Each structure stands twice: as C-alpha cells, then as structure tokens.
C-alpha cells in the first residue's frame, strides 16, 4: 500500500513540474497596433511569470485560474506564437495573427479639375485619412491640406499640367488614387 501512495505522490509531483500547455487563444487575430484582450486557455498557468506574443511580452496579463489567462496583445505583425512561462518552463506556442490596418481609400475628389496655376481647394472624400502626413497631386505635394475627419480632407492644389493621380499618405500606407485634371 505504501508503494501505491508513493507512486501517486510521484505522479502528482511530475504533473506539478510539467511546463504549462496552451490549448487555445480566443480571438486568435487582432490589429497590428495591439491592445486587444485575448483569453488563453490551457493548463498549468498558476504562477505564470510571462505571456509572450512571439518575442514581445503581453502589454499586461492576469492569471484568472490554472486554466485561463487574459492578456492584452502588444503591437506586432504577421503570425506569432503565444506562449506562457511559469517556474516549470515555457508552454507550447499557439498561433496568433496580426491583421494590418487597412490603408486609406479615396472615393472622389471635388472638383476633379482645376487651373494649371493651382490654388483651388479640393475636397477629398474617402476613408482612413486620420493621421495623414501628405496629400500629393501626382508627385507634387499639395500646397496645404487639412484633415477634417477620417473621411474628409481639404487640400489646396499645387500648380501642374495634364491628368495626375491624387493620393493621401498615412502611417498605414498610400491611398488608392483619384484622377485630377489640370485645365
């Protein structure tokens, strides 16, 4: 009987010394900017000292139970492995996909024509304009521009000739273009 008790004790000690295991990450996708709350499901999470998304530590995390951790995803890109580290080691990884922020899109520009001398105000309508760093008429920057909202920019056309593409540049990338005709 003492052998049976001893073997049960040994099995419990071996289980307690096992590294954590991640079974799932709920909401396995999120924005490249990070900041979203994810739930990590698995076992052996008690005493967790780190939660990582690839090489980056979670912005913060809470051990809810031995089987559940909530964590705030840090900024990142591509597909990374989410891992949990305890005194017993680091878990297996579970894939997490960062989704890029869609770039700006121009739907229309009003008016779509203007004098070759430039100087006229052009209202650009679309989406994703927040944080715009440039508005270009072809390769020439607008004389000035104001971001009214995520969907609206007013720009002063520079001098130019022919038909040129209007584009908006933001941290998320360069927009689709809209044709502008100098007359």
pLDDT at 8: 55
| CA neighbor of 15 nearest in space, from 84, 68, 86, 88 | 88
The predicted structure's pLDDT at residue 139: 96
- Successive 10-residue mean pLDDT values, the chain, 183 residues: 51 68 92 90 97 97 97 92 97 91 85 96 92 96 96 97 96 89 96
Q: What's residue 101's pLDDT?
A: 65
pLDDT of residue 33: 82
- The confidence score (pLDDT) of residue 2 equals 47
In the prediction, which pLDDT does 27 show? 87
> Of 88, 100, 64, 101, which is closest to residue 26 (Cα–Cα)?
64
Half-sphere exposure (CA, 13 Å, Cβ side) for 19?
A: 12
CA neighbours within 13 Å on the CB side: how many for 178? 18
Distance between CA atoms of residues 141 and 167, nearest Å: 9
Distance in angstroms (rounded) separating the CA atoms of residues 115 and 127 = 26
What are the C-alpha distances in Å from 95 to residues 52, 98, 112, 160? 11, 10, 46, 50
Inter-CA distances, 9 with 5, 16, 44, Å: 6, 10, 18
State if pTM tops 0.85: no
């Amino acid at each position: 009987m003492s052998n049976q008790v001893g073997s049960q004790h040994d099995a419990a000690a071996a289980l307690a010394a096992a590294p954590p295991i991640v079974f799932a990450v709920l909401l396995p996708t999120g924005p490249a900017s990070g900041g979203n709350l994810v739930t990590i499901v698995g076992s052996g999470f008690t005493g967790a000292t780190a939660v990582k998304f690839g090489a980056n530590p979670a912005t913060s995390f809470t051990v809810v139970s031995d089987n559940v951790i909530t964590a705030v995803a840090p900024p990142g890109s591509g597909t990374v492995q989410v891992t949990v580290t305890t005194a017993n080691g680091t878990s297996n990884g579970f894939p997490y996909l960062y989704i890029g922020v869609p770039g700006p899109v121009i739907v229309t520009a009003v008016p779509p024509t203007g004098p070759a001398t430039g100087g006229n105000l052009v209202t650009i309508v679309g989406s994703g304009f927040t944080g715009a760093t440039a508005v270009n008429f072809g390769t020439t920057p607008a004389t000035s521009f104001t971001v009214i909202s995520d969907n609206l920019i007013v720009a002063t056309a520079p001098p130019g000739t022919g038909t040129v593409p209007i584009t908006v540049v933001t941290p998320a990338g360069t927009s689709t273009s809209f044709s502008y005709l100098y007359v």
